[in-house]
Chain A
C-alpha cells in the first residue's frame, strides 16, 4: 500500500515536472522569437544610423575643405592687398631715397671743400642703406627695381653694393677686372650682392674681413664672397637654397617680426634677371662662400671708365699745353706770368679736339679763374672771421 502511494506520488511529480517543462519551453520559444524580432529592428536602426553618420561625415569633410579653401583665399587676398599697400609705400620710399641720393651727391660736390663734407658722407651712407631696404621691400611686393642706364664695371657694381651695408669698411674687393655688367643687370646684381654682403657681415664677427673676388668660369662670371663667420648647418643650407632658387616664395606674413628678406629678395631677382646664387660653399675662413653666377648674357669684357671721372687723356692731349712751357726742368709746374697756363681744366662737355686758338682762350680763362680763385682765398684768409669758404665747387 505504501509502495502504491509512493508510485502515485512519483507519477504525479513527473506529470507536474513535464507540465512545467512544457510551459517553460513554450515561454522560451516566445522569448527567443521576441529577441530575434527586437534584434532585427535594432540592426536595422543601427544600419540606418550608420548610413546617416556616413552622410554627415561626408558633409563634414566637404565643409572642412571648403573652410580651408576659404581661409586660403582670404589669406591670398590679404597677401595681395598687403602687397599692394606695401608696394605703393615701397615705391614711394624707393623714389624718395633715389632722389635723396642724387641730391646728396650734388651737395657733396657743392660743399666739397668744406668740413661739412665729412658729415654729408655719413648721411649718404645711411641713406644708401635705406635705399637698399626700400628696394628689397619693393622687390618682395613685385614692384620693379630702379634701373640704371649705363653699363658699369663689375668692380664698381660691387663697390656700389658695398656702400649699401652698415659695416662696409670690412669689405675687401681683391682684384680689379676688365669685366663690365650690362646696364640692365647693374641694379639687380648690385642689390643681390648688397644683400649677400649684409648677410656675410651680420653672421660673422665684427672686424673680420669679407673678401670679394671675381672669377671667370667657362661662360660665367662669378662674384665670390667669402666671410669668416660660423657657417650654416645642413638644414639652413637647404632652406637657403630653396629661397635662393626662387622656387619657394614665402608670404610677407610669414617673414615674422624681424623680417629677413635677404634670401627671398635675391631669389626673386635671380629668377627675374637670369642669374644664379649659391651659398652652399665653405669659405677659406670656414665661413660661408656665396657665389653669384652671371651668365654671359649679363656681362661683357669691355673696359668701363667710371662716368664721374672723365678720362685723363683729354687733359694730357690738350693741344695748347706744351710740356716745355708747363713744367720746369725739375718737373715742377711753372707759375707766374706766361703765355699758356699750366692748369687747363677741361670742361665736361669738351669735345675730342677743340681748335687750338679756342682752347688757348679757354686755357687763359681757366688760368684767370684760378688766379681769381687764389686771390679770393687770400682775401678770405685776411678777414678776421673766416667766412663760409666751402662753396666753391672744385
Chain B
C-alpha cells in the first residue's frame, strides 16, 4: 500500500435512502396512480396520521386542501414519481387519501384495419 496522506472520504449520497422512505414497499401496479390521477386527503386524515414518515406526511399535507395530480405531488416534494406512487399507495391503504382515476381514453380503432375495410368496400362496390 502506498503511504499517501489519508484523504477524508466524504459521503455525498443522501443520508436516508429512498427504499427506507418507502419502507421497502413494492411499486404499485402501472395502472394505479398514473401521472394524471388526482389525489386528495380524506377528511380528518391529518389527525388520524400519527405514525407516518415525514415524507408521507409531506405528501399528505400537499393534498390536504383539494385534488392534486400525482405528477404535481412528485414535483412539489422533489421525490421521484415512483416513490410518490408508493407513498400514495401506502396512504390510501391506511385510508388517508382517496385517488380519482383519470377518465379512461376512448378506445382507439385500428387505422390499418379501417383502411383495409375501406379498400375492400371500394373493390366490392367501386367508388
Contacts and interface: CB of A to CB of B under 8 A. Distances in A.
Interface of A: 84-85, 87-88, 91, 94-95, 98, 101-102, 104-105, 108-109, 111-115, 117-118, 121-122, 124-125, 128, 143-150, 152, 155-157, 159-160, 162-163, 168-169, 176, 186-187, 190, 306-310, 312, 315, 327, 330-333, 343, 345, 348, 370, 373-374, 377, 381-382, 394
Given A117-B83, A306-B54, A394-B80, 18 more contacts: A87-B1, A94-B9, A98-B11, A98-B12, A105-B14, A109-B80, A121-B24, A124-B18, A160-B20, A168-B20, A169-B23, A309-B54, A309-B55, A315-B76, A331-B66, A333-B68, A377-B35, A394-B75
30 contacts: A91-B9, A101-B13, A108-B18, A108-B80, A112-B74, A112-B80, A117-B27, A117-B80, A118-B27, A144-B6, A144-B9, A145-B9, A146-B10, A147-B11, A155-B54, A159-B15, A160-B16, A162-B20, A186-B15, A187-B11, A306-B54, A306-B55, A308-B14, A309-B55, A309-B79, A331-B66, A331-B67, A333-B72, A343-B76, A373-B71
Q: Is the interface of B mostly helix, strand, loop or mixed?
A: loop
Contact of A105 (B18, B35, B76, B108): B18
B46 to A, nearest CB: 14
Given A147-B8, A332-B67, A333-B66, A113 B81 contact: yes
Contacts of B65: 327, 331
Interface string B52-82: 0011001001100111100110111111111
Contacts of B67: 331-333
Contacts of B78: 308-310, 348
Size class of B's contact patch?
35 or more
